[in-house]
Amino acid sequence: MVEICDYEGSRYRTDFWEGQGREYEDRVERIALRKLLPPQGRRLIEIGAGYGRLADLYQGYDEVLLLDYALSQLQQARERLGDHRFRYIAGDLYNMPLVDCSLDTAVMVRVMHHVHDPPAALSEIARILTPQGAFILEYANKRNLKAILRYLFRRQKWNPFSLQPVEFVRLNFDFHPAYMESRLQEAGFDLEAQLAVSTFRLPLLKRLVPAPLLAHLDGLLQRPSAGLKLAPSLFLRARIEKMGRVAPVESLFRCPLCATTPLKRSAAALICVGCGRRWAIQDGIYNFKEPI
């Protein structure tokens, strides 16, 4: 069974982002997303959306799905964003409760570094995207400049040049760019653009240079330095190359256990007509973690 990193009950918003000296990281990730994100579309999904930190960037989409494994994170997202244009889904990225070819765009930021089985996750993302659908992915770069220097000066044991992912803390992975690009191609994705992000993620620089200026400089370098692939964070946009018919707009959910679609809706649950399982709708959140 594949392990899942679960942020249930964590104070991710306050303990990691707000007031924790990460204004620079937030700004540069937004700069990168604005460069890569298709400006409009029918449906977008953010996988591992947490409390919805980046959701204000999706204004051009008719409907936005925020998927996370942690109900508590989705509750925070709903409190912040409301229900207009947003749907909140608690579920597993390895087996998403969504029909084939139903999403124009998928976004995954600060999630891949928790993914134990990237090929399985990428295959599932490819399944739910429409033909030529866009996938914007961020991943932690194993062969970043800091890791290379640490390895050369014998400050770390693992080799940043080896292709295999490194798990430096349980369920925290860094990936070699060549490994990630190969896995994307195997899943049917064609790479369109790449950016090098968070180049200046150094405590001293963040203390000395105001975050808006540091982020502006980072933004200027994101495209020119992308080919070097030395930044700690790499963003890319890929298109799924596949055949298929786009799912009707009214067709969205499928049973994550038996893949039956559509699901029958009652006041408090979605009911699978194939296996009879019921999936709760709790406080505006579709809960596909366990049937009721």
What digits encode the pLDDT tens for the residues 167-197?
999 999 999 999 999 999 999 999 999 999 9
Long-range (24+ apart) CB contacts under 8 A made by 268-271 are none
- Kindly report the length of the chain: 292
- pLDDT mean over 151-174: 97
C-beta of residue 194 within 8 angstroms of C-beta of residue 222: no
Record the tokens describing residue 161, joined without a space.
């040049």
> What is the structure's pLDDT at 288?
98
With 80 as the cut, is the pLDDT of residue 18 above it? Answer: yes
User: Could you tell me the maximum CA-CA distance found in the chain, to the nearest angstrom?
Assistant: 62
pTM: 0.97
Q: What CA–CA distance (Å, rounded) separates 29 from 184? A: 21
Quick one: residue 110, left, alpha or beta (phi over 0 = left, psi -120 to 50 = alpha)?
A: left
Instruction: Kindly report the backbone phi and psi dihedral angles of residue 137, in degrees, each rounded to the nearest multiple of 5, phi listed first.
Output: -125, 140
Question: Does 39 sit behind a cis peptide bond, omega within 30 degrees of 0 on the bond before it?
Answer: no
pLDDT at res. 102:
97
Res. 95: pLDDT tops 90: yes
pLDDT of residue 100: 97
Q: Which residues contact 250 (CB under 8 A, 6 or more apart)?
A: none
C-alpha distances in Å from residue 249, one per residue of 4, 42, 279: 30, 9, 21
Q: Which DSSP state fits 114? A: G
Which pLDDT does position 161 carry in this prediction? Answer: 98
pLDDT digits (tens, 9 = 90+) for 206-248: 999 999 999 999 999 999 999 999 999 999 999 999 999 999 9
Q: Which residue matches tokens 């040049």?
A: 161
| Torsion angles phi and psi, residue 138, rounded to 5 | -115, 140
Quickly state the pLDDT bin for 2 (edges 50, 70, 90): confident
Q: Is pLDDT above 80 for 1?
A: no
Residues 6+ apart with CB under 8 A from 39: 60
Give the CB-side neighbour count of residue 249, counting CA atoms within 13 A. 6
Cα separation of 17 and 60, whole Å?
25
For residue range 47-81, what is the model confidence (pLDDT) as tens digits? 999 999 999 999 999 999 999 999 999 999 999 99
Q: How far apart are CA 241 and CA 38, in angstroms?
A: 17
Indicate the SS3 state at residue 95: coil
Counting other chains too, the contacts that 258-264 makes at CB distance below 8 Å and 24 or more residues apart are 261/99, 262/99
Q: Residue 20 in contact with residue 82, Cβ under 8 Å?
A: no
- pLDDT tens, 96-135? 999 999 999 999 999 999 999 999 999 999 999 999 999 9
